[in-house]
Amino acid sequence: MNSERLGTEKLIKLETQRIKILAFSIGGTIAWKYGLKSANIDSLICISSTRHRKETEKPKRELELYFSENDEFKPKKEWLGNMMFNYNSITGKDHHFYIEPEFTTQLSETLLKTTPQQGS
Q: For the segment 85-107, what is each residue's pLDDT rounded down to a tens digit?
A: 778 999 999 999 999 999 999 99
Architecture of domain 3-97: 3-Layer(aba) Sandwich (3.40)
Whether this prediction's pTM lies above 0.75 is answered by yes
Q: Do residues 83 and 63 make contact, with C-beta atoms less than 8 angstroms apart?
A: no
Domain positions in the chain: 3-97
Alpha helices in the chain (DSSP H): 3-14, 26-37, 77-83, 101-114
Quick: pLDDT tens for 5-54. 777 888 888 888 899 999 999 999 999 999 999 888 998 999 999 999 99
